[in-house]
Amino acid sequence: MGPTEPGIGKKVPIEGMTENTFYSGGANYWATQEASDNGMLGGLGHLSEIEIQNSEQFLKSVLRLTDPPGTSRVIDCGAGIGRITKNLLQRYFKVVDLVDQDPKFIDRAKENLKDIAQVGELYCSGLQLFTPNPKTYDVIWCQWVLCYMTDDDLIQFLQRCSSALLPNGVMIIKENTTRGNAPDVDESDSSVTRSFNGFLNIFKAANMKVLQYVKQKNFPRDLYPVWIFAVKPITSASD
């Protein structure tokens, strides 16, 4: 796969930045954002309910696959204040772990989720540095966070996640995508919005296959299209 293929771009997507400044740019941006649904959704907190409804339909369809993942443990990656854990994951999984790099959001997630018995570990770490425990998770949920990782780090993170999945485990990835094939970079929050094909290339590079995908419905047309993917590691030649 060549370096110019969509989604497999430069090591650091923003010209002139080092990896350090790319990651500190993202962390500094989130340090200034409100610990609320509105903060998590860039001022579009009113879309939370419809977004969760679509995710729930997708999760149900994944749990109905021929060899479905179990429901013993999930991890919410880039969990922020625990919006997805609270409104969705805790209703389907016996244990929900969370990881986010921002300590203020982790503190708010603890507060928001204090009455939810299913909540397990809360990790404060950048995903580019995080290794989920091996053979632990039925589902690894990543939403609106992979745009803050370089392609190389994302591929390596997906590989570490592959090792963290239980048999039949899947990753569910929900991210903005560009309409064409080129990624969009945003210097204001150090993010890279990848194309749909860019994600497919990333999954291929991480040796993962796509089981299912669907586009978020009923979102305003002026927003980036949001796609949800279910992916799993390729373990045999017949996969």
* Residue ranges binding ligand SAM (CB under 6 A): 26, 30, 40, 78-80, 83-84, 100-102, 105, 126-128, 143-145, 148-149
CB of 81 vs ligand SAM, minimal distance in Å: 7
CB of 49 vs ligand SAM, minimal distance in Å: 12
CB of 125 vs ligand SAM, minimal distance in Å: 7
CB closer to ligand SAM out of 57 and 168 = 57
How remote is the C-alpha of 71 from its chain's centroid? 18
CB closer to ligand SAM out of 101 and 195 = 101
Q: Are 37 and 45 in contact (CB under 8 A)?
A: yes
CB closer to ligand SAM out of 76 and 138 = 76
Q: Are 122 and 98 in contact (CB under 8 A)?
A: yes
In the numeric block, which tokens belong to residue 29? 């941006």
N residues, the chain:
239
CB closer to ligand SAM out of 219 and 234 = 219
Q: Are 56 and 35 in contact (CB under 8 A)?
A: no
CB closer to ligand SAM out of 54 and 101 = 101
CB of 155 vs ligand SAM, minimal distance in Å: 14
Quickly list DSSP for 171-201: EEEEEE-BSSSS-EEETTTTEEEPBHHHHHH
In the numeric block, which tokens belong to residue 192? 């890279």
CB of 238 vs ligand SAM, minimal distance in Å: 34
